[in-house]
Amino acid sequence: MKGHRILLLANLLLLLPVPVRAADRPNVVIFLADDSGWGDYSINGNTNLRTPNIDSEFPRTPLSARDGVAHGGVKRSAGAPNCSYFVNWTNFDDEVTWDISVATAGDYEVEILYTCPPADAGSTIALEFNGHRVTGTVTPGWDPPLYTNQDTVTRPRGESQMKEFRPLNLGVMRLERGRGLLTLRALQMAGKNVMDVRQVNLTLRK
């Protein structure tokens, strides 16, 4: 009987709350979403779905080549938009646009993921939206080789071999609420090509 009492007491002790310090617990939140695009969140203009908690915690909006439209001589690196980037930017009148809706007005840090041969570095570019603009220079030159080990199976012909893109910080741009074309254009060309473009990142400054 005494042994049963000891066992019962031990089980009760296991049920008591044990204080845990914040430092003992990892502060990690993982969001897993299947085929989630930038336009699925209210911060990016979705009027059918409200995501205030996600909007406040993740103020960065990536605009990939998949969602953009090439104009002039600019082309995609492959036929499949999901794994492509923009190439052949060889003319002053060429540009790339994204049709976006800004739900949260504010100042956004602008970053472009790019590559550019060193001989062509130095072009002046501008990102524009509804009367606001930020400009920058495509430098330094960055021309890495294509990945040769990115797949475990043979990549289909319609998909691009990827490469390491470098971030180019253009500074801060004011975006007001509303819909319009976000346009990336060249103001001055320093060589034969302006750059290859993988993605534009917009981060809302808090």
**How do residues 15-62 score in pLDDT, each as one tens digit?**
555 555 655 666 776 666 766 665 666 655 566 776 766 666 557 899
Q: Is residue 12's pLDDT more than 90?
A: no
Q: What is the pLDDT of residues 154-198, one digit of tens each?
A: 777 778 889 999 999 999 999 999 999 999 999 999 999 999 999
Report d(CA 173, CA 106) in Å as an integer. Answer: 8
More confident residue, 78 or 4: 78
Q: What is the pLDDT of residues 95-113, one digit of tens each?
A: 999 999 998 899 999 999 9
Whole-model pTM: value is 0.74
Q: Burial letters for 183-201: b for 16+ Cβ neighbours within 10 Å, e otherwise?
A: ebbbeebbbebbbbbbbbb
pLDDT of residue 94: 97
pLDDT of residue 121: 98
Q: Rounded to the nearest 5 degrees, what angle is found at the Cα of 69, between the Cα atoms of 99 and 125? A: 90
pLDDT of residue 158: 76
Amino acid making up residue 60: R
How many Cα atoms sit within 13 Å of 88 on the Cβ side? 10
Report d(CA 140, CA 200) in Å as an integer. Answer: 17
Report d(CA 182, CA 184) in Å as an integer. Answer: 7
pLDDT of residue 159: 81
pLDDT of residue 150: 72
Residue 17 tokens, joined:
């709350």
Residue 170 tokens, joined:
């253009």
List alpha helices for the chain, DSSP H: 2-15, 52-57
Amino acid making up residue 168: L
Amino acid making up residue 67: D
Domains of the chain: 60-204 (2.60.120.260)
β-bridge pairing 95-102 and 132-137: unpaired
Q: What is the DSSP letter of 39?
A: G
